[in-house]
A and B are shown apart, each in its own frame.
Chain A
Amino acid sequence: MNLDDEEQALLAGERGSAVQQAIRLQVSVGDYFGARDMVRVGSVHISGDVEELGDAGVEYLERMGSLGASCVVPTLTDPRGAEFRGARLRQDPAAIEIERRTIAAYGAMNFRQCNNCIIYQTTLQPRRGEHLAWGDTGSVIYANSVFGARSNFEAGPSALAASLTGRTPRYGFHLDGVRKANVVVQVEGRISDLAEWGALGCVVGRQMRGYWDVPVFTGLEDEPDSDALKHLGAALASFGSTAMFHIAGLTPEAATLSQALSDARARRELIVPTGGLEEAFARFDLPFGKVDLVVFSAPQLSAAELASVADAFAGREVHEGVRVFVTAPSEVVAVIEADGVRDRLQAAGVEILVDVCFYLMTPRLLAALNSFSTLVTNSAKLANIMTGHGYAVKLRRLSGCVDAALRGVAD
């Protein structure tokens, strides 16, 4: 890789050992992918949930902090795995301890701890063409696809490196050619509920062949709003490892279908026929009667989504024995405190988990500690992950989720 004078100085250790380790990691990754040079990034979004970090990860963070590492670009944190805002949940003490150590290490490096996976809705809207080192797959796919910003999936250690150097290697979705679509997805039929947008991401994501596949959707009759795009993207990333999509006529690098398409890459065509989304709902439809959990999470909810959930309960209350959780960052909770939605949710018996995402909360231990087994959700991404953690899961539209919450059973 071509490194400028400043980068050479970082590599030589002139800004300390932590920064030196950071740029070494970046150069190795850049070499692997044939990066020509580094690009400066506008911001960093860093993830590191407690289970994933483990002792080894948190020790690494602490070591970097103790070496005097500090962010040189705005560095925002992803949701936590431990809830400190009064959740009525038995949480794993070891997970809480790792979370506390992570918070301290992030603090030492001056990260902005917003604990938020929807920063693109609440906090930080990148501009078109801005290079980023974002590290939540949902935030990356949204930034690339909807804003036309440029980021790869930057995992925790890689995002940390970018935070300390202010740069990232120029490969993947920083390059024009990689951003072009190679898969045309013809969508027939209508899409309304957010769960259906997630289901579309599931059905298409499962047909992607990895990170370098970029789908372009065409034929959509329904225009997605920000929350719909968020669920579509999160599910695509979860099921397909996908980092970018286009919607012809709607997203910024797809004024037309032909503008979005790659001339250089072999092209595939997919059709999602009318009724084709039912495949996703059927995939997550394990037979169970009694519902332990109804969870709205993954990604965290916007104020608009929380208002929709409150509206759907329409003054009715959660059935005895069912726990209904929503997750949101503090910034969103402040909004729903002000506009009365929080009170309506709480009156219905809906519990608000703050600054966490449900699947980050050591799901297997959480299940054991709280006797959770069956889960209904409107998020295809959450359904995917919780199935992997041994929960029996049903994917339902908002009305189906609320129905399960009110009756305590799911059809």
Chain B
Amino acid sequence: MNGPTTLVAERSLRTSVTGPALVSNDALSMRYDVDPETGIVKRPDHDLFGHSIAGRILVFRQTKGGVATGWALLNLLSRGTAPIGLVCDVANPVFVQGAVLAGLPIMDGFSPSPRECLASGDIVEIDGPQRTLRVLRRSHAT
């Protein structure tokens, strides 16, 4: 993967985190697509099917569906299966509400999309106050 190593988000919480990215081109529902016990995506037709979101900075297209994500992130956090940061093209307010409750950094609104500039395994930094997403190290897979 190539492209800029620093992207600026239109919106971000003021919290920050660094860690490995997990990149998806699909929309994701934390409530319906993820097994809370394991953090593994259980929806068969999802491009992350079988992958765990636990401990990852999840980089994905958009959140899907309902209000359930509001509690879902706190639930995942309490079980140790939550992502550590959230980066999406477009964030549904419910997702932001849930991220605030769970204390997880989140940002959205990019051009180009981080999905086009990042690969799973890249080490990335969410800098909340600066509203930036920075690639610190590319994964050797790409």
Query: Which residues of A are in contact with B by a Cβ distance under 8 Å?
Result: 25, 28-29, 31-34, 47-49, 51-57, 60, 135-137, 152-159, 171-172, 209-212, 237-239, 241, 384-385, 388-390
Contacts and interface: CB of A to CB of B under 8 A. Distances in A.
Given A52-B31, A155-B94, A159-B70, 7 more contacts: A51-B31, A54-B75, A55-B75, A56-B77, A155-B67, A157-B97, A209-B62
6 contacts: A52-B71, A56-B75, A153-B92, A155-B94, A209-B90, A241-B27
Contacts of B92: 153, 210-211, 241
Contacts of B68: 47, 49, 52, 155
A33 B101 contact: no
Contacts of B94: 153-155, 158
B123 interface: no
Contacts of B97: 25, 29, 154-155, 157-158
Interface string B116-131: 0000000000000000
Contacts of A212: 90
B62 A241 contact: yes
A7 B92 CA distance: 25
B7 to A, nearest CB: 17
A149 B97 CA distance: 21
Interface in B53-99: 62-72, 74-75, 77-79, 89-90, 92-94, 96-98
Contact of A153 (B62, B64, B66, B72): B66
Contact of B65 (A152, A171, A241): A241
A13 B78 CA distance: 26
B110 interface: no
A337 B42 CA distance: 41
A171 B78 CA distance: 30
B128 to A, nearest CB: 10
A153 B75 contact: no
Contacts of B74: 54, 56-57, 60, 157
Top-7 shortest CB links A-B? A155-B70, A56-B78, A54-B75, A158-B97, A210-B90, A388-B32, A57-B71
From B27, B32, B36, residue with most partner A Cβ within 10 Å: B32
A157 B71 contact: yes
Given A34-B11, A209-B90, A156 B96 contact: no
B131 to A, nearest CB: 11
A153 B71 contact: no
Contacts of A60: 74, 101
Nearest to A60: B74
A156 B11 contact: no
A238 B66 CA distance: 6
Contacts of B90: 209-212
Interface in B8-51: 11-14, 27, 29, 31-33, 36, 42-43
Contact of A241 (B64, B70, B100): B64
Contacts of B71: 48, 52-54, 56-57, 155-157
A153 B43 contact: no
B36 A54 contact: yes
Contacts of B101: 25, 60, 157-158
B33 A388 contact: yes
A135 B71 CA distance: 12
A157 B32 contact: no
Contacts of A56: 71, 74-75, 77-79
Contacts of B75: 52-57
Given A28-B100, A32-B12, A32-B13, A156 B93 contact: no
B63 to A, nearest CB: 7
Nearest to A34: B11
Nearest to A389: B32
A153 B91 CA distance: 12
A152 B93 contact: yes
B72 A52 contact: yes
From A57, A136, A155, residue with most partner B Cβ within 10 Å: A155
B96 A29 contact: yes
Contacts of B64: 241
Contacts of B31: 51-52
Nearest to A152: B93
Contacts of A52: 31, 68, 70-72, 75
Contacts of B106: 32
Contact of A136 (B11, B27, B42, B67): B67
A153 B69 CA distance: 11
Contacts of A239: 65
B33 A28 contact: no
A153 B67 contact: yes
A55 B71 CA distance: 10
Contacts of A155: 67-71, 94, 97-98
B66 to A, nearest CB: 5
